[in-house]
Amino acid sequence: MVAFDEMQPEKSGLRQSYAAYDRWLKQQDPARLTEKMRDAERVFRKTGITFAVYGEEEAAERLIPFDIVPRILSGSEWRRLTQGIEQRVQALNAFLDDIYHRQEILRAGRIPKRLIAANDAFLPEMIGMQPPAGVYTHIIGVDIVRTGEDEFFVLEDNARTPSGVSYMLENRETMMQLFPELFQRVRVRPVENYPQLLRQSLARVAPGNVSSTPTIAVLTPGSYNSAYFEHAFLADQMGVELVEGHDLRVVDGHVAMRTTEGYKQIDVLYRRVDDAFLDPLSFRPDSALGVPGIMDVYRAGNITIANAPGTGIADDKAIYSYMPEIIEFYTGRKAILENIRTWRCSEADSLKYVQENLGDLVVKEVHGSGGYGMLVGPTASKKEREAFAKKLAANPGNYIAQPTLSLSTCPILTDAGLAPRHVDLRPFVLVSDRIQIVPGGLTRVALKKGSLVVNSSQGGGTKDTWVLDD
């Protein structure tokens, strides 16, 4: 199957959204473009745009690969995507509110109770809790793939601590440095105001008892975390403090951070620490990353935690398979953006089908991320499939399976010129008293020819995403 090329499909030729860029590209000296690629790498290295790879002693800090050919979406394409994303985000928040309160969707039989009750991502501590402003998922990353001109699908939802927005911002800044004349030719909608929008959005969900400008901080696990660059970057761009667990303590019923003038109250904590490590008094007692007693402060309504604890139940891959039902249940409408067909291996018939068709499917762990713990059937060896089949048989409920899609491609610059590579897209959504979606997102690209794995930890890279102002 030939993948849909977003710049120049085989059947229809150059797409209109790429017309202005293509005219510019044809005027460029290939040697100049190659030099610009090296310039981009120098910019990333100087800025320190790296990510960590756990479990690897060599080159634990890696430079994320960047491609200078932008991925371009028309204004009309973006409008359709945003409509679907907004609908999905509304449903996710309604689902979380329902699951931790009345559980009407369970009583209606639309989702099996066992998927909630036996799920590690479900936090009983959140039952009956009402987050400030009623928002659970303040920052969401929705992963979208494309298979044709008008065929977009949601691959997964990231409702816990979605990462990658710093790469989106740095990609754009780098492109504007390298090719200022190009942005004068092509009207591209801006993304650089995301940090300001994030700060404003977080301020709007501060606890109701905060009378003055709320104090916001970013909680990081520390410099050894794979996304530490992003934590520090966002705190700096928002103009707020970057804190670690040992910087915080509970003072007079509030969470406060250590400063040179004593402890200062925090009203909104944008946490990049997983639930299990957030409060050693409520969750893992051995955690040194969180704040003892923060859940008591949260229950008292004296701090906003973004995203709320327990949001992981909304991006569980088994729950994902029910998203069409969830969207219809809470919005009363069919999903604008469809799911990818999904087989739940916890169900006998589905398990049998997956076992018999491992060579054609992508099988993922329910709680997996980053491209780990998965099998890409068509590219796996016989030995890999046999080993995976044993894991699947031993714990089928831990897996879901999906067809191997022919993901769309965008060109990247190689030594031999432009060459198509598979891509996905992660738009970033801010939720407060309104829903805001930055026009673009993080395009991840599989740099290896024929590869479908776009994660940076698995050999993928990124490129700037343009939404045209048309």
The model's pLDDT over 64-76, given as tens digits with 9 standing for 90+, comes to 889 999 999 999 9
Asked if the model's pLDDT at residue 31 lies above 90, the reply is yes
Q: Which residue has the higher pLDDT, 463 or 226?
A: 463
List, in order, residues 6 or more apart from 459 with CB less than 8 Å away. 446, 447, 448, 451, 453
pLDDT score recorded for residue 266: 97
Percent of the chain whose predicted confidence (pLDDT) is above 70: 95
Give the separation between CA 428 and CA 451, rounded to whole angstroms. Answer: 25
The model's pLDDT over 129-165, given as tens digits with 9 standing for 90+, comes to 999 999 999 999 999 999 999 999 999 999 999 999 9
Q: Which CATH number fits domain 343-403: 1.10.3660.10, 3.30.1490.270, 3.40.50.2300, 3.90.780.10?
A: 3.30.1490.270
pLDDT score recorded for residue 61: 62
The model's pLDDT over 195-218, given as tens digits with 9 standing for 90+, comes to 999 999 999 999 988 878 999 999
Average pLDDT over residues 357-365: 92
pLDDT score recorded for residue 405: 87
pLDDT score recorded for residue 59: 43
Sheet strands (E) in 291-416: 304-306, 338-339, 343-344, 361-365, 375-376, 399-403, 409-414
Average pLDDT over residues 376-403: 91
Asked if the model's pLDDT at residue 87 lies above 50, the reply is yes
Sheet strands (E) in 355-441: 361-365, 375-376, 399-403, 409-414, 417-426, 428-431, 435-437
Q: Which residue has the higher pLDDT, 57 or 362?
A: 362
Contact in structure between 279 and 288 (CB atoms under 8 Å): no
Which CATH architecture describes the domain 208-302? Answer: 3-Layer(aba) Sandwich (3.40)
Asked if the model's pLDDT at residue 372 lies above 70, the reply is no
Contact in structure between 242 and 220 (CB atoms under 8 Å): yes
Cβ of 83: how many Cβ atoms within 10 Å?
13
Asked if the model's pLDDT at residue 51 lies above 90, the reply is no
The model's pLDDT over 308-340, given as tens digits with 9 standing for 90+, comes to 999 999 988 889 999 999 999 999 999 999 999
The total number of residues written for the chain in this structure = 470
Asked if the model's pLDDT at residue 56 lies above 60, the reply is no
Average pLDDT over residues 429-450: 94
12 confidence band (pLDDT: 50, 70, 90): confident
Give the separation between CA 470 and CA 468, rounded to whole angstroms. Answer: 6
Asked if the model's pLDDT at residue 464 lies above 70, the reply is yes
pTM of the predicted structure, to 2 decimals: 0.93
pLDDT score recorded for residue 76: 96
Asked if the model's pLDDT at residue 11 lies above 90, the reply is no
List, in order, residues 6 or more apart from 275 with CB less than 8 Å away. 121, 123, 160, 283, 309, 310, 312
Average pLDDT over residues 420-440: 96
DSSP letter string, 207-236: -TT--SSPPEEEE---TTSTTHHHHHHHHH
Percent of the chain whose predicted confidence (pLDDT) is above 90: 79
Asked if the model's pLDDT at residue 100 lies above 90, the reply is yes
Q: Are strands 460-467 and 66-73 parallel, antiparallel or unpaired?
A: parallel
Asked if the model's pLDDT at residue 60 lies above 60, the reply is no
The residues spanned by each domain of the chain are 16-207+303-340+405-467, 208-302, 343-403
CA gyration radius for the chain? 22
DSSP code, position 470 = -
Residue whose token pair is 């298979």: 147
**Peptide bond just before 171 cis, omega within 30 deg:** no
The model's pLDDT over 219-261, given as tens digits with 9 standing for 90+, comes to 999 998 888 999 999 999 999 999 999 999 999 999 999 999 9
pLDDT score recorded for residue 334: 97
Residue whose token pair is 């949260």: 298
